[in-house]
Homo-oligomer: A and B are copies of this chain.
Amino acid sequence: MLRPETYEDIVKLALKEDIANGDITTNSTIPDDKQMEGKFVAKQEGIICGLDVMERIFQIIDQTIQMKFMVVDGAQVEKGDIIATISGPAAGILIGERTALNFLQRLCGIATKTHKFARLLHDIDTFIIDTRKTTPGHRMLEKYAVLTGGGKNHRFNLSDGVLIKDNHIASAGSIATAVEAARKKAPHTLKIEVEVESLDQVSQALEAGADIIMLDNMSIEMMEKAVKLIDKKALTEASGNMDQKDIRKVAETGVDFISIGGLTHTITALDISLRLSQ
């Protein structure tokens, strides 16, 4: 379950920026006691994600607004499918419509994109994972969308995962000293990941006892050699503009994970509309 605490800040910020001093148009033209009904309809094929967020938004605006979900998060919908119905005070529905859709469409977009990649690997034991290239303020929601679309999550933030990159290595002196330093300071509950760019670095990371080795920007050939070299002694993650590559070939090298920044840094909102009747 996606706990509301994890997205309440961004939802409140979004409502504040859109409602501001109130909806003047609705205030002027819609009586307070006017009721309305509506349907959220998919206008293209995709994976649904974010229903709870949408419901929460309307609940914050008016507790008497009722929603019924026709599908669950993770369901695939076709063009024309009804996703959810809504009923209640017209003013509240109109005020929340845009913000609710802004969240829902983006999250569906991310889940749908993830799903496309994940389906390509349905018969291989390699997982699609996200990165920290998420929309600022939407980290948790977008990681949830990746999970919903069939991917898995990399670390949430800078403090719940150790990822040693080139600059850390350069500063610490070597992969060995960097891993050693992390092992000394970081909680033992976190795995230690090292980003490498050559087979020599792969060997160093293995020797240093890295738990995860990120193969950054390697050719398919080098990746294959790296995976063989590592030989299951560490988890392996392929990285580097992966959304533009042949994911299938990358997966066939035997890496455990493929991280794709584009899952969240390049977003196509799923087309969904709210059809209201009075």
CA distance A265 to B167 in the complex (A): 35
Question: Which residues in B have their C-beta under 8 angstroms from that of A147?
Answer: 185
Stretch at the interface among A22-30, A75-83, A116-124, A219-227: A22-30
Q: How many angstroms from the CA of A203 to the CA of B248 in the assembled complex? A: 38
Report the minimal beta-carbon distance from A101 to chain B, rounded to whole angstroms: 8
Q: Does A16 belong to the interface (CB within 8 Å)?
A: yes
Asked, given contacts A11-B136, A136-B14, whether A26 binds B168 with beta carbons under 8 Å apart, the answer is yes
Q: Cβ of A39 < 8 Å from any Cβ of B?
A: no
Q: Does A231 contact B (CB under 8 A)?
A: no
| A170 / chain B contacts, CB cutoff of 8 Å | 278
Contact A158–B22 (Cβ < 8 Å): yes
Tell whether A199 is near chain B: CB-to-CB under 8 Å: no
A156 touches B5 (CB 8 A): no
Interface membership of A98, Cβ < 8 A? yes
Are B27's CB and A156's CB within 8 A? no
Q: Please tell me which one of the listed residues B156, B167, B191 contacts residue A159 in the complex, with CB atoms under 8 A apart.
A: B156
By the criterion CB–CB under 8 Å, are B189 and A135 in contact?
Answer: no
Q: Is A56 an interface residue, CB under 8 A from the partner? A: no
Specify which chain B residues have a CB less than 8 angstroms from the CB of A158 in the assembled complex. 18-20, 22-26, 95
Please tell me if A102 contacts chain B, counting CB pairs below 8 Å.
yes
The answer, yes or no, to whether A2 is at the interface (CB within 8 Å) is yes
Which residues of chain B have C-beta atoms less than 8 A from A267's C-beta? 266-267
Contact B188 A256 (CB under 8 A): yes
Scoring A17, A170, A185 by chain B CB atoms within 10 A of each residue's CB, the highest score goes to: A17
Q: Are B160 and A159 in contact (CB under 8 A)?
A: yes
Given A24-B186, A162-B28, A278-B167, A138 and B140 touching (CB < 8 A)? no
**A42 contacts partner chain B, Cβ-Cβ < 8 Å:** no
Chain B proximity of A79: nearest CB distance (Å): 14
Asked if B190 and A160 sit within 8 Å, CB to CB, the answer is yes
Question: Per a CB cutoff under 8 Å, which of B1, B90, B98, B99 touches A171?
Answer: B90
Which residue of chain B is the closest to A91 with respect to CB atoms? B1
**B residues less than 8 Å from A152 (CB atoms):** 187-188
Q: Does A242 reach chain B (CB closer than 8 Å)? A: no
Partner of A1, one of B18, B32, B169, B181: B32
Contact residues in B for A24 (Cβ distance below 8 Å): 158-159, 161-162, 182, 185-187, 190
Interface assignment of A34: CB less than 8 Å from any CB of chain B: yes
The 6 closest A-B pairs by CB, nearest first: A14-B136, A160-B160, A23-B158, A21-B159, A161-B189, A265-B269
- Report 13 cross-chain contacts, Cβ distance below 8 Å, ordered by A residue: A14-B136, A18-B158, A24-B186, A28-B186, A29-B178, A102-B134, A129-B188, A153-B187, A154-B189, A163-B189, A189-B193, A265-B269, A266-B269
